[in-house]
């Protein structure tokens, strides 16, 4: 059963409300014992991540009692949770604080990502900025839209197509495994510019709004990409994997390529394969 307009509205409202209660009051006010590392020293989780995910999960279970909920921190606690995306008819995928390193270090470039899948396909995506209280939403077949609490939604369109050497976008060699970082660095010199915001939510937002041309990310976690990939596709862009696979929220590993067109995606894939 497709997600209804009422469900869309309630999901947006609950994310805004939870962010107001659990994220914003902690921003630049976290005590040292409210932050800890997970897999690596810079892979952080804070009490805001936990509180936000718990609150969104509880609200989603009330709104959509038949949906499976897959949150980043729930998967960190039990890796089997991620399999619910493949198993459930409907799943809600949550990144409660995307860009946690930024958030924990007092940087405003963080957000909340939420995606809904139906039969393993992403049908709704929300990319929310709790600092500015604005968001990008995407519907399968319904476009990508920039939204504010009081304004009319603005339909989004990706940047114009251009040669690879003229492209600007988001990528970091440090996002690749250590043995591939040198080669990745060389590959990135083929673009006009490559930046990193350390936040998939805002990197996708900038890409979907046509302000950059690509994003390359060697970590394919669905909570980082499901919402943004849909938003990009609905704005006229393309998403795929470096190894040639089509992107799917079921993918757990590999390098994601996101670009403003299918042609650009293939050009980036060909360029990276020459180096990696």
Taking the mean position of all CA atoms in its chain, how far away is CA 96? Answer: 11
Query: What pLDDT does 79 receive?
Result: 95
pLDDT at residue 1 tops 80: no
Confidence category of residue 204, pLDDT binned at 50, 70, 90: very high
Which of 38-47, 121-130, 144-153, 236-245 is the least confident region? 38-47
- pLDDT tens sequence across 233-274: 999 999 999 999 999 999 999 999 999 999 999 999 999 999
- Angle at which helix 200-208 crosses helix 222-234, to 10 degrees, equals 10
Identify whether the C-beta of residue 32 lies closer than 8 Å to the C-beta of residue 63.
no
Q: Which domains does the chain have, with CATH numbers?
A: 5-155 (3.30.540.10), 164-275 (3.40.190.80)
Query: What pLDDT does 43 receive?
Result: 83
Rounded distance between C-alpha atoms, residue 68 and residue 85, angstroms: 7
pTM of the complete model:
0.97
Average confidence (pLDDT) over 80-95? 97
- pLDDT tens sequence across 18-76: 999 999 999 999 999 999 998 787 889 999 999 999 999 999 999 999 999 999 999 99
pLDDT at residue 209 tops 90: yes
Instruction: Find all residues with CB under 8 Å of 2, minimum gap 6, and list them.
Output: 118, 123
Angle at 207 between CA 204 and CA 209, to 5 degrees: 110
Query: What pLDDT does 189 receive?
Result: 97
Average confidence (pLDDT) over 10-22? 98
Share of the chain above pLDDT 70, in %: 100
Query: What pLDDT does 258 receive?
Result: 98
Better-scored residue on pLDDT, 40 or 161: 161
Q: Which residues are annotated as a binding site?
A: 72, 95, 98, 224
Instruction: Identify which of 28, 37, 47, 51 has the alpha carbon closest to the alpha carbon of residue 108.
Output: 28
Mean per-residue pLDDT over the chain, rounded: 96
Q: Which residues are annotated as a binding site for Mg(2+)?
A: 72, 95, 98, 224
User: Using H for helix, E for strand and C for coil, what is the string for the chain?
Assistant: CCCCHHHHHHHHHHHHHHHHHHHHHHCCCCCHHHEEECCCCCCEEEHHHHHHHHHHHHHHHHHCCCCEEEEHHHHHHCHHHHHHHHHCCEEEEEEEEECHHHHHCCCCCCEEEEEEEECCEEEEEEEEECCCCEEEEEECCCEEEEECCCCCCEECCCCCCCCHHHCEEECCHHHCCHHHHHHHHHHHCCCCEEECCCCHHHHHHHHHCCCCCEEEECCCCHHHHHHHHHHHHHCCCEEEECCCCECCCCCCCCCEEEECCHHHHHHHHHHHHHHC
């Amino acid at each position: 059963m497709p997600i209804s307009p009422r469900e869309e509205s309630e999901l947006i409202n609950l994310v805004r409300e939870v962010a107001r209660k659990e994220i914003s009051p902690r921003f630049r006010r976290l005590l040292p014992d409210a932050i800890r590392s997970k897999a690596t020293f810079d892979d952080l989780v804070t009490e805001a991540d936990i509180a936000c995910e718990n609150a969104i999960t509880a609200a989603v279970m009330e709104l959509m009692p038949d949906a499976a909920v897959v949150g980043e921190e729930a998967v960190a606690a039990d890796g089997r949770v991620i399999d619910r995306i493949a198993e459930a008819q409907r799943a809600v995928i949550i990144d409660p604080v995307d860009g946690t390193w930024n958030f924990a270090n007092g940087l405003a470039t963080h957000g909340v990502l939420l995606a809904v899948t139906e039969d393993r396909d992403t049908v709704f995506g929300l990319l929310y900025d709790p600092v500015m209280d604005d968001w990008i939403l995407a519907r399968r077949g319904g476009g990508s839209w920039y939204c504010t609490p009081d304004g009319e939604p603005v339909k989004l369109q990706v940047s114009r197509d251009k040669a690879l050497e003229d492209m600007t976008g988001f990528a970091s060699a440090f996002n690749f495994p250590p043995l591939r970082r040198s080669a990745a660095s060389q590959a990135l010199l083929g673009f006009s510019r490559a930046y990193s915001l350390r936040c998939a939510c805002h990197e996708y937002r900038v890409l979907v709004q046509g302000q950059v041309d690509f994003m390359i990310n060697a970590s394919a976690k669905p909570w980082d990409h499901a919402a943004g990939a849909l938003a990009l596709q609905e704005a006229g862009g393309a998403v795929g994997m470096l190894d040639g696979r089509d992107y799917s929220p079921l993918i757990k590993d590999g390098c994601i390529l996101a670009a403003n067109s299918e042609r650009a995606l293939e050009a980036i894939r060909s360029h990276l394969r020459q180096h990696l």
